[in-house]
Amino acid sequence: MGVSEGKEIGQWFGPNTVAQVLKKLSAYDEWSSLKIHVAMDNAVVIEEIEELCHTKNPDAETTMWNPLLLVVPLRLGLLSINPIYIDSLKACLQMPQSIGMIGGKPSQALYFIGYVGDDVVFLDPHLTQNAIEFDDEEFEDSSYHPTTSARISFHSMDPSLAVCFSCTTHSEWKNLLQQFKIMTEAGKKQNLFEVCTQRQAEWHPSSMDLADEAIALDSADSEEDFEILG
């Protein structure tokens, strides 16, 4: 699946690639009804998620809600996180539906689960070990789960990250939307992404639109006087 996203064997996956690969793999998951939605272009589109998570009940004319994993990939700076976004990241981590952030720091992938003051708390699950045989349904998996956490400053994080949320019920999803609304209305917080009902249609200018624009520009240039001040 990584190769299908342009990543060769042995290459590191960024947060967006991780999200896209998980989304593709979920289609082959036969034991879980989990739906994964990756919100692209910094936009959480309500209509898309409602259509994804609502499936028709075979025994009735009603629909049922499938659990949702919402992943929002973000780029919050060039080389480091712009400080104006830190309060909004803290607000996301405080939401009941938050399951943390995937990201890291240069050359190190980390899983962020919370914060203390201006430090973000992370788990580092990386441990090189022998491959296992999946023929045995029971195996010791304790080495796949870190037993300790650590902290780094928000300013030390790589600006490429993804915030993640889990909604097992429709009411949790509705509550998450309310949490997003509260976050965007808070005057001191910089919006991380947009929440909209429908995805805006792409605008493709026609030749007539371009011609009208050119005429308007020519008219403006001819009618406006410019004065050079010495």
Tokens at 8, concatenated: 């060769």
Q: What is the pLDDT of residue 206?
A: 56
- Asked if 101 and 109 touch (Cβ cutoff 8 Å), the reply is no
**Distance from C-alpha of 94 to C-alpha of 89, rounded to nearest angstrom:** 9
**Distance from C-alpha of 137 to C-alpha of 21, rounded to nearest angstrom:** 24
pLDDT per residue as tens digits for the range 158-196 = 999 999 999 999 999 999 999 998 887 766 678 889 899
Task: Summarize the confidence of residues 27-43 as an average pLDDT.
Answer: 88
Q: What is the pLDDT of residue 174?
A: 96
Between 227 and 108, the more confident residue is 108
**Distance from C-alpha of 228 to C-alpha of 182, rounded to nearest angstrom:** 50
Task: Summarize the confidence of residues 35-57 as an average pLDDT.
Answer: 90
Mean pLDDT of the chain: 82
- Asked if 194 and 200 touch (Cβ cutoff 8 Å), the reply is no
**Distance from C-alpha of 209 to C-alpha of 42, rounded to nearest angstrom:** 28
Lookup result for tokens 């639109």: 209
Q: What is the pLDDT of residue 172?
A: 96
Give SS3 for 45. strand
Work out the pLDDT band at 199, boundaries 50, 70, 90. Answer: confident
Task: Summarize the confidence of residues 30-45 as an average pLDDT.
Answer: 89
**Distance from C-alpha of 85 to C-alpha of 98, rounded to nearest angstrom:** 17
Alpha helices in 82-206 (DSSP H): 86-94, 170-185
Q: What is the pLDDT of residue 55?
A: 84
